[in-house]
Amino acid sequence: MKEKKRRLQLVMLSLVVSVLLMSIKFAAYYLTGSKAILTDALESIINVVAAGFAYYSIYLSSKPKDENHPYGHGKIEFFSAGFEGALIGFAGLFMIVESVQAFFNPNDLQGLPLGALILSSTIFVNVGLGYLLKKEGEKQNSLTLKADGQHLLVDALSSTVIVIGAFLIYFTNYFVLDSVFSILFALYILFNGYRLVRQSVAGLMDEVDPKTFNKVVKALNNHRRKNWIDVHNLRIQKYGADLHVDCHLTLPFYFNLETVHDEIQLLEECLESISSHNVEVFTHADPCIPGKCCAYCRVTDCVFREEESLLNIPWNKTNLGKNQKHYLEISQLGKKK
């Protein structure tokens, strides 16, 4: 609850700061008439809208599960990132259209030094807040915070180059450079918008997140027990900062129900330890098959063993993700030989 409150406070701070910076950038455009500064100011509108939607998404994602949303409301964070990416993309396209027109009809620019200095004051604020949001997003595994932070850092970078470009125009009197810089930044903004949309789609489609999957694999290997003969069909779904993990666990067929429950409980506690947020684990228990699982079974006191334990199947992304017992692979390897 404390972390969710922290996320809401940070996004509210981002919203307030975005409104202030937007006002400053439009003031700089009013003083200079620079299309490049206008593109930066227009992107600030996107910052404000995106921060507002981010606040709502984090508020909604913090709500508990209900009958209509048995997995919680965390998926809204992926919508938030996609929405922000789409807005950035539209802003980039608008900037390109405006800049192309200005390229063929360049205007004299006024007050460039003052406008550039005003714009430069926003850079430090965006860098500081963007870094804070991105760091907190990584810490809390919040795509909304990471997307908002990345957006502010991109905004700071574009403002930096625009300031440099403004001084170049001032000293060279090549006013056409204003449109050139504007088009270049619009293309960069489009690329960042695409990245956010790509991350959003990946989350909504439950695409495998290598970083999270590797954490699960590491935890399983660190807590691997000899009774856990095999783990397969491992799948991970992200719901904002929360995780849903399900897998199949192969145990000795002669275990009673109470022992099976205890082993599953240990496995679930192992997986729950990978995150400070909620991790929901569903485990399906499979009985081992004598003669087929013995080759890689590490249970030393099994009276039903039909052959020695010869193999040690590594628990990695490839093996754990397959929806089949690994004895199938061993038998297939034997046929090939």
**Sequence spans of domains, the chain:** 2-204, 210-336
Helix segments in 33-111, DSSP class H: 35-61, 76-104
Quick check: 88 and 161 in contact, CB under 8 A?
no
pTM assigned to the model: 0.68
Residues paired with residue 59 on neighbouring β-strands, in sequence order: none
Q: How far apart are CA 113 and CA 175, in angstroms?
A: 14
Q: Decide: 61 and 76 in contact? Cβ < 8 Å.
A: yes
Averaged confidence pLDDT in the chain: 81
Helix axes 2-32, 143-172, angle to 10 degrees: 20
Under the banding of pLDDT at 50, 70 and 90, the label for residue 5 is confident
The model's pLDDT over 231-270, given as tens digits with 9 standing for 90+, comes to 999 999 888 778 899 999 999 999 999 999 999 999 999 9
**E strand residue ranges, the chain:** 230-239, 242-251, 279-287
Instruction: State the Cα–Cα distance between residues 232 and 329, nearest whole angstrom.
Output: 12
3-state class (DSSP) for residue 251: strand
CATH topology of domain 2-204: Alpha-lytic protease prodomain-like (1.20.1510)
Average pLDDT over every residue of 15-24: 87
CATH of domain 210-336: 3.30.70.1350
Give the separation between CA 249 and CA 284, rounded to whole angstroms: 6
What whole-number distance in Å separates Cα of residue 19 and Cα of residue 328?
60
Check whether 116 has a pLDDT greater than 80.
no
